[in-house]
Amino acid sequence: MARMKFLCDVERCIDCNGCVVACKEGNQVPVGINRRRVITIDEGKPGEKSISVACMHCSDAPCIAVCPVDAIYQREDGIVLVNKKTCIGCGYCFMACPFGAPQFPSGKVFGARGAMDKCTFCAGGPEETFSDEEKRLYGQNRIAEGKVPLCAAMCATKALMAGDANVVADTYRKRVFARGSGANAWGWDKAYGKK
Amino acid sequence: MNRKKHFRFILPVGVLLLAGVAWAGSPQILLSPGSEPSTASFAAINKVFTGDWQQYGQLFTSLQGGLFNRIFLLVLTIVPVVFLLHYIIIGAKSFSHAGTPIKFFGILTRFLHWLAALSFSLLVITGLMVVFGKFLGGGALIMSGRSVHLIAAIVFCLSAAGLFLIWLKDMLPMPHDILWLFIMGGYLSKKKKPIPAGKFNAGQKMWFWLATIGGGVMAWSGYNLYSFAAPTDQLRQMAILHNFLAAGLVAFFIVHLYMSLFAIKGSLTSMLTGYKSQEEVAILHSRYKI
């Protein structure tokens, strides 16, 4: 079974936030919840780097370990999903996640948090595939259609790649061979005469 | 001749310069853009991205993932069993109703106590529902449990605050409390000898302080957990604190239930009517001056 992974090429990411908008719009994510976000370090300085991050769909997911109601599960292809009907909104998954992926809508009853929402790798949820229920709760199920997630599909520079881990790794490797990395990337050595 | 002289000058200076550069690290001025390996940027991004998780994230994950459930299960099984054994081996203490009953709890005290008792019981039940949620199917049932937990917490805080003020003076530690602890309040023997205690004995005092101060800490940490008011790493610490303290409170609550409902005959009545019998006060609260 293919293991699905994200890989954001920091040499290519230009902090356009196209992935963020694509995800929010395509999945009709409510206001206040951001499944994906772009982090930039050293902004404006030499060595500025941006990376697009969402749920990492970890192999030994800490969110799965801490959920008191076992609402989070992992598919065979590695995609981690939440069952919103089981989730009680306790927030333990948010505290356990190193990446802050779980998000919570403001609740209706006494301001309690609603059920957890996060990046689904555009793989829907436990409901029946392509059903209205699934679309309403989790957004699009592009993996079942054989397409890559919206964020990777819309990436302006194809910095963000998502899909079969082997294919993604191969693509990245070819890129690095073609352009070099670090000091040698894109011929900086020619531009400034330094290695 | 000249070249050699220059060389003897240039070489040490060159070495010093290189040493200076090496010692200073990599001054920005010597770097061209992108001269670090690209993995260095991932390390820098990681610090911004996950930095805090290194503090308490790992601890929280392993405790919540494996330990808390087991602690609660142990508390819920071992504590009742221990007291069942006590009931079988030593049994309850009962006292005669002869003489004028002594007033112990006024109407306000009793009202606040039962309000606190009801809300505390709801807190324990709904809290355990969250801890063992997966065995109850999760979902809307547990979610409404969380709302009940919130309301009960508010009711408990108000009534416990009232009880705290009413009982504070009588619950202050006294020297004879140490004597009480040495003999475990006389509960390990069937004999009825006068026990060193004032209006409240050391066991009652321990429960009082745990429930009020501990309850306050639970309320403060619970508020933060409910509203996500604190920064994430502090939330993790509060979740750990809330769980450990909860286990302690549940254990002591079971003790309190056993003592007041089973071990001392007439104690439930005293909290309903407000009066204790002469013999009970003479034995169990021998230092109480009316």
Residues B145-156 pLDDT 10s? 999 999 999 999
- Closest CA–CA distance from residue B221 to any residue of chain A (Å): 14
Instruction: Specify burial of residue B269 (Cβ count, 10 A radius: 0-12, 13-18, 19+).
Output: middle
pLDDT band at B9 (very low <50, low <70, confident <90, very high): confident
Inter-chain touch A85–B139, beta carbons under 8 Å: yes
Q: Which residue has the higher pLDDT, A142 or B11?
A: A142
- The CATH number of the domain holding residue B260 is 1.20.950.20
pLDDT at position B260 is 94
* Within a domain: B131: yes
pLDDT at position A111 is 77
Average pLDDT of chain B?
Answer: 88
Query: Residue B219 belongs to what domain range?
Result: 52-90+98-284
Q: Does B37 touch chain A (CB under 8 A)?
A: yes
* Within a domain: B253: yes
Q: What is the pLDDT of residues B193-220, one digit of tens each?
A: 899 999 999 999 999 999 999 999 999 9
Q: What is the pLDDT of residues A145-176, one digit of tens each?
A: 999 999 999 999 999 999 999 999 999 999 88
Tell me the C-alpha to C-alpha distance, in Å, between residue B284 and each of B49, B105, B110, B171, B177.
60, 16, 20, 15, 12
Q: Output the six-digit token pair for A126.
A: 């436990």
Domains of chain A: 4-192 (3.30.70.20)
Residue of A36, A69, A189 to mutate, testing the B interface (most B Cβ within 10 Å of its Cβ): A69
Structural domains of chain B, count: 1
Amino acid in position A174: K
Residue of B28, B31, B35, B135 to mutate, testing the A interface (most A Cβ within 10 Å of its Cβ): B35
pLDDT band at A187 (very low <50, low <70, confident <90, very high): low
* Within a domain: B139: yes
pLDDT at position A194 is 55
* Within a domain: B56: yes
B71-94 average pLDDT score? 95
pLDDT at position B7 is 65
* Within a domain: B132: yes
Q: What is the pLDDT of residues B100-140, one digit of tens each?
A: 999 999 999 999 999 999 999 999 999 999 999 999 998 99
Q: Does A144 touch chain B (CB under 8 A)?
A: no
In contact, A92 and B86? CB cutoff 8 Å: no
Nearest Cβ partner of B32 from A70, A90, A183? A183
pTM (2 decimals)? 0.85
* Within a domain: B28: no
How far is the C-alpha of A153 from the C-alpha of B241, rounded, in Å?
44
Q: Which residue has the higher pLDDT, A193 or A78?
A: A78
Q: Which residue of A has its CA nearest to B243?
A: A92
pLDDT at position A176 is 84
Inter-chain touch A99–B49, beta carbons under 8 Å: yes
pLDDT at position B46 is 82
pLDDT band at A190 (very low <50, low <70, confident <90, very high): low
Q: What is the pLDDT of residues A35-87, one digit of tens each?
A: 999 999 888 887 788 999 999 999 999 999 999 999 999 999 999 999 999 99
Q: Which residue has the higher pLDDT, B14 or B142?
A: B142
| Distance in angstroms between the alpha carbons of the first and the last residue of chain B | 112
Inter-chain touch B130–A88, beta carbons under 8 Å: yes
* Within a domain: B42: no
pLDDT at position A32 is 84
pLDDT band at B41 (very low <50, low <70, confident <90, very high): confident
Q: What is the DSSP letter of A185?
A: G
* Within a domain: B17: no
Residue B61 has pLDDT above 50, yes or no: yes
Q: Does A138 touch chain B (CB under 8 A)?
A: no
Residue A134 sits at the vertex; the CA angle it makes with A133 and A136, to the nearest 5 degrees, is: 65
